[in-house]
Amino acid sequence: MIPGATARPVLSGAGQAPCHHGEILQGVFLDDTGRRCAGLVTLPMAGPGSSAAFVRRPGAVPEALTVVPADRTKAARAAALAVAECARRTGQPPCGGELRLTGEIPVGLGMGSSSSDVIAAVRAVADSYGLQLDPATVAGLAVRAELASDPLMLSGRPVLFAQREGRVLEVLGPALPPLVVVGCALGGGAPVDTLSLPVADVADVDRSDVRAYERLRALLRRAVATGDAQLLGAVATASARRGQRALRHPEFDALTALARRAGAVGVQIAHSGAVAGVLFDPAAPGLRHRVRGCLHALDAHGIPATHTFTTGATTAPSPKESPHHGPAHRGVDRPAGPDTPRRPARLPAL
């Protein structure tokens, strides 16, 4: 540095966010006041996620904010909202900038690709201001950007999350029971146009349905408390079956039947996509044989398998750790297209 010169402020930031493997439970639930709320519990998945890099342009009007790839409109909205929030907190005028996104999450399959983009974008903007926004603030910005958000801004603990309001309805426990998940994609892996799915007003949901969702919530709470993979699988299957009222996957009956024959504890399906999983208890005898039988059965029914992975106890990051900030990992841009593309998504080994 030239003697007497002052260091230029850091105007760039990076952020990351994970994906998930669809939902374990989704429906309409009651909050602490008895008010109805749409809510969900996602199945966490380590691996691919979204990375974002943001460069601020002080002096540029806030509207001069660009995003690469250009079709990531939800992430662009999130970045603009995050700029306004961070500028307010730091006493600076809002400005434009450039947001770049990379990631390997297949879009349109219900794995939270848009939420991951949005949350990574918010974190990158905050990082460019030298801030780390708390999860509640990130959730609020994410919901404003995309109307509903998955709980990918949280630590990974199983929570019932009000996706349209960006708030936690219940922390179910420290971790889900360990599971082995044989991932697959229904409908040949064709993306689901989530914007075309009916969005029911929670006020119109029948009271008997709300009671059924609350029973599933109580059972899932017990499954988490006791580490009962069998009970968790039963909840996930019941929730997936209810989801078929809207999704109507033609392979659903075949999937549940082959899961029973393979000795799985149940199935889970993304309620806004085509990704699905056959769930196994890792402590079950003959697990390798069961998983191999499941893979053969999926192939026989023309249901493409994607990836087999495990999930279970996770350790929350310590306050000194900053796992979602710092230099963005290099990734691969997802194919250009709308937020929910119409063409079939290529299925990598996730």
Tens of pLDDT, residues 249-308: 999 999 999 999 999 999 999 987 889 999 999 999 999 999 999 999 999 999 999 999
Indicate the residue type of 28. Answer: V
Instruction: Measure the CA–CA gap between 290 and 305, rounded to whole angstroms.
Output: 15
For residues 96 and 108, the model is more confident at 96
User: Cα–Cα distances in Å, from 2 out to 9, 187, 314?
Assistant: 16, 62, 48
Instruction: Measure the CA–CA gap between 295 and 301, rounded to whole angstroms.
Output: 10
Instruction: Measure the CA–CA gap between 339 and 154, rounded to whole angstroms.
Output: 23
In this prediction, residue 108 carries a pLDDT of 80
Nearest to 175 by CA among 253, 121, 248, 229: 229
How many C-beta neighbours within 10 Å does residue 104 have? 17
User: What is the reported pTM?
Assistant: 0.85
How many C-beta neighbours within 10 Å does residue 126 have? 25
Instruction: Measure the CA–CA gap between 153 and 169, rounded to whole angstroms.
Output: 15
In this prediction, residue 187 carries a pLDDT of 85
Instruction: Measure the CA–CA gap between 185 and 346, rounded to whole angstroms.
Output: 11
CB 341 within 8 Å of CB 191:
yes
Question: What domains, with CATH codes, occur in the chain?
Answer: 12-311 (3.30.230.10)
In this prediction, residue 312 carries a pLDDT of 72
The first and second tokens of residue 143, run together, are: 């919901």
pLDDT confidence band for 75 (50 / 70 / 90)? very high
**Helix 252-261 vs helix 287-300: crossing angle, to nearest 10:** 150
Q: Compute φ and ψ for 212, nearest 5 degrees.
A: -65, -40
CB 181 within 8 Å of CB 335:
no
pLDDT confidence band for 107 (50 / 70 / 90)? confident
DSSP string, 131-162: ----HHHHHHHHHHHHSS--STTS-S--EEEE
Instruction: Measure the CA–CA gap between 149 and 139, rounded to whole angstroms.
Output: 7
